[in-house]
Structure 1
Amino acid sequence: MENPQEHQAPDMTDAPAPAGTESAPAQNLSPEQRLAELEAKHAEVADAYLRAKAESENTRRRADEEMSKARKFAVEGFADSLLPVKDSLEAALAIENATAEQLREGTHATLRQLTAALERNKVLEIAPPAGTKFDPHQHQAISVVPAPEGIEQEAGTIVAVLQKGYLIADRVLRPALVTVTAPS
């Protein structure tokens, strides 16, 4: 006679669980225990999600604050470089009996300070020499005149600069006001 236990199905509780399923001991849990385990895992994942969400909100808020500060204090360096110019002007006004020559010399020195401050902050002059081709991106034609007598100048070239223009970091802050030659 055969032993009936020899033909029983093998015990699957000791076999490795297929990929993507819970471990074998979890299969031996009662439904209540399994529910409690899943609720704990859910709480853990929910907590991790809330922490990540809070961290991303904090990062966004810090970035917004930094942008706000950058906008608010963007002119700080520029203003700092203009303070010596203001000091020079105030010192000039404090001299009661300055001669015309002293005033002229002080004005030139103050203008050099201002020019240096503008250049440090990447504010550059647009002052094209006569004969330069008119560039509508950097120049604004105020008038069109015939080419000057005795000077052969191509149509659409600059005759004179009426007011300098300025660039700030390759962007036109103010175009140069110019007079250009008329077509023949």
Structure 2
Amino acid sequence: MRVAEQLNLALHELLKSDPSVHLLGEDLSDPYGGAFKITKGLSTAFGDRVRSTPLSESAIVGVGAGLALAGDKAIVEIMFADFVTLAFDQLVNFAAKSTTMYGRRVPMPLVVRCPSGGGRGYGPTHSQSPQKHLIGVPGLGVHELSPSTTPVCCSPICCRRASRPCCSRTRSSTPARRSRTASSTTSSASNCSASGPDGRGCS
């Protein structure tokens, strides 16, 4: 199964199992289903919980962070990781800080998924890997899964559906790299971090 198919399946299972999950991003709705078809079929199956948004990364992440702060769970897709810089203030000064600035630990179940890297011929503003700019921010976790020769799944759900041991426990020839796990999460294209009820990513 291709990584894109695994991501689609994981999102489908997450939306199906948890009615508090919302998926936001540009061109996510059917029939387009996102730039890389990760969200294909989801808006048809889950209606208003999968929303195509205006072209404003700051607004998309801000809405997602607001949903998370209000008690729901949000997955935000940035079409290309390059444009996560436009949401830097929402991520660094709102989402990440909201976990600790209210006098008590506040869950922020927010995932920002960012397809990153070159190799597709999309040009200099659609091919960067800006993850390093978010590493080390308190309250923010950065998760990246690099390609490997060993199957690596983005969710144990995928393995259960395929009736096999969870390949996230399989040793990879190119291991995943990640910073400290925290409440708010931003992830690369090949990684799927699902937020649990405590607001932490479970990748």
**TM-score, normalised on structure 1?**
0.18
**Structure number with bigger Rg:** 1
TM-score scaled by length of structure 2: 0.16
